[in-house]
Amino acid sequence: MQRVYHLMTERAALALGVERVGVWMFDETGQSLVAADRFSSADYSHLEGAVLSLASCPRYKAALTGDQLVVATDAMNDPVTSELADSYLRPLGIASMLDAPIVRGGRTIGVICHEHVGHMRSWYETELAFFESLSDFVTLALYANEGAQLTERNRMLASIIEILPDPVVTVGLDGDPVYINQAAYQTHEPPEGAGLVEFRDQNISKSYSPEALKFRSEVIVPEALRSGYWRGEVRLQTG
C-alpha cells in the first residue's frame, strides 16, 4: 500500500499545486489520526507514522465522521479547521485545507487532505470533484490490498491443513467430499493414485456407522445449517 500512497500523494500534489498531500487513518481509539503517508513537494519527501490528536477538535472530527468534505479557504479561522490551528496549522504554515473522509462500509476510517502553505487559496469545483475521487481511490486500493492479503492467508492455511497429521474432510449435504487432505486419503486407504473424484465415488457416508449417520442427519447437519457450525466428535468406521 505504501507504493500506492506515494504515487497518489505525489500526483495529487502536482495536480493541485499544493505543498502537502496526506493520507491519515484513525487509530483504534478513533481519537487520533496516524499518517499512512504525507508527501511534501518542497523537498519531495514522504513521512509516515505522525500522530495528530483530535481530542480537542470535536467539530473537525464530526465533519469527517459525518462524511463531509472539509473545504477551508482560511483554515486558521474556518469554524471546522480552526481547532487545528495551534497543534497543526500554524507550526506548518498551512493557510488553506481541503479534506475528504475515507469511508469504508459506511464508516469513516481516515482522511485524505491537501494542505496549501503560504497565502490563502480558494478551491474550484473541478478540484473538489478530483479530490473526492481520490478518497474513493484509497478505499478501492484498501479493498484490493486486503483481498490480496486474504488470498495469501488462505493459501497458507490450505498448505497447513494439507500437511496436518489428522484427517480433514469437507463434505456437502449429500455426504460427498469437496476437499480432502492427505491424512484423510491415507486413513481411508483409497486406491493408489486416487484423487478427489475416486474418493467421492466411494461416498464418505459409507465411513459412518448407522448410528453415526443417523446422528449426522438429525443433529449435526440441522445445527450447522442453523448456527453456521457444529462442534463435537463422531466415530467413523474403516474397512
CATH 3.30.450.40: does it fit domain 2-151?
yes
The pLDDT tens digits of the residues spanning 99-116 come to 988 887 788 888 888 999
Domain boundaries, the chain: 2-151, 165-227
The pLDDT tens digits of the residues spanning 192-229 come to 555 555 555 555 556 667 787 788 778 887 877 777 66
Arithmetic mean of pLDDT, 136-152: 60
194 Ramachandran zone, left/alpha/beta (phi>0; psi -120 to 50): beta
47: pLDDT confidence band, cut at 50, 70 and 90? Answer: very high
CA distance 119 to 125: 20
41: number of Cβ within 10 Å: 16
Would the pLDDT of 145 be above 60? Answer: no
